[in-house]
Amino acid sequence: MLRCWLWSRWRGTQWTVLGYGVPLLVAMMVGTRGFTYGMTKPASDALYTRVPRETRYKGKNFVETAVWRLGDLVVTSGISGLGKLGVGLAGIALIGTGASTLGTWVARKAATSPDLAPEIGNAPPPDFGEAARS
């Protein structure tokens, strides 16, 4: 009798967890992948529109391998180190907010920089490369 009761309790818990967890996981995956393909990837491809094709090819590969992997290493090591120093979740969130604010400030400065302004006059039309052909 006890065994049957425990089995039914476990099965009920299992269905409850799967009942809420799987649809939530699917919704999060659809949202993040949609954001990646709709916003992040085109925005990163737009960074390479003002450089020659060969430089774009080499620079893009370097950024997508070395820079992103180094960034992943720095972030995971930093969070791990902060956790070992006793910084809690709220402290890590506060540090992340500060980093986001700094990134926003740098992006605004770059957007208004005269060095990055579009060239007026005899500039060739932009070559959107593979993004336009796909």
DSSP-assigned letters across all residues of 23-92: HHHHHHHHHHHHHIIIIIHHHHHHTTTTS-HHHHHHHHHHIIIIIHHHHHHHHHHHHHHHHHTT--HHHH
The mean pLDDT value for 106-127 works out to 72
Lowest mean pLDDT: which of 35-49, 78-92, 112-126? 112-126
pTM, full prediction: 0.50
Distance CA 100, CA 96 (A): 6
Of 5 and 68, the one with more pLDDT: 68
Which tokens belong to 119?
């060239």
In this predicted structure, what is the pLDDT of residue 129? 58
* pLDDT score of 20 more than 70: yes
The pLDDT of residue 21 is above 70: yes
Distances (CA, A) of 91 to 42, 82, 83, 98, 104: 33, 9, 10, 11, 20
Most distant CA pair in the chain, distance: 86
Choose between 94 and 67: higher pLDDT. 94
Over residues 58-85, the pLDDT tens digits come to 888 888 888 888 989 999 999 999 999 9
CB-facing half-sphere around the CA of 118: CA atoms within 13 A: 8
Q: How much is the pLDDT for 10?
A: 54
Is residue 101 exposed (0-12), middle (13-18) or buried (19+ Cβ within 10 Å)? exposed
